[in-house]
Amino acid sequence: MKKGFLISLLIASLILPAANCYGFSLKKEQPSQEQTQDNTHSQQARVFYAQNDIDKALEMLEQIPEEQRSAEDWLLMGNIMQDKENIEQALYMFNKSAQKNPKFYKPHYNMGYIYLTKNQPNMALTEFKLAVKYKPDFSYGYYNIGCAYLQLKKYSQARYNFFRSVDLRANEPNVYYNLAYTYKMQGKEKQAQTYLDMYNKMMEEHEF
């Protein structure tokens, strides 16, 4: 395998798509009678979003008064703004989601993803660390902490978090790939080759 292959592939696989973050289920509180109508709008919005009708989904959510929108409502509005490539509005919505429920991990993860794509790894780290604080078993959170440390060229910290990700989810090929890259950047060619071989084996077996 050519030496340049490892670095070029890393660029394409450095971060997970935002869509992986949306859709993780959390237990929801039962709605009060006063919230029934708003929750109907919320449910309809989720149906439209699943059908890729983001404009209709947004229309449903905008019918809910701001003070009655749940953290999930604000999160979905942020996802819609992100789909529309309105990043500043997406960040605003994700912040509102986090304010509504300070221990909700998803908006922190989404904000971290945006900051990572904007090459703002320190801000990304702040959000990703909050995500794993509120959901300690969140493999993708540790994975992207590792990616943020890679941007900062802090390879020991990156490696540590990639291993935490593997401990929680052992079948994600990109983690092994970035472990290989991390070891390579530390001059540990043998270990780099080991994890690159593991990555290639997973890709062949599962046809990712």
pLDDT in tens, 38-82: 579 999 999 999 999 999 999 999 999 999 999 999 999 999 999
| Whole-number CA gyration radius for the chain | 19
Give the contacts of 18 (CB within 8 A, at least 6 positions apart): 79, 82, 110, 113, 114
Burial (Cβ within 10 Å: 0-12, 13-18, ≥19) of residue 130: buried
Instruction: Decide: pTM greater than 0.85.
Output: no
Inter-helix orientation angle 54-62/36-50, to 10°: 170
- Residue 104, classed as helix, strand or coil, is coil
Distance CA 101, CA 108 (A): 11
Each residue of 119-159: pLDDT tens digit?
Answer: 999 999 999 999 999 999 999 999 999 999 999 999 999 99
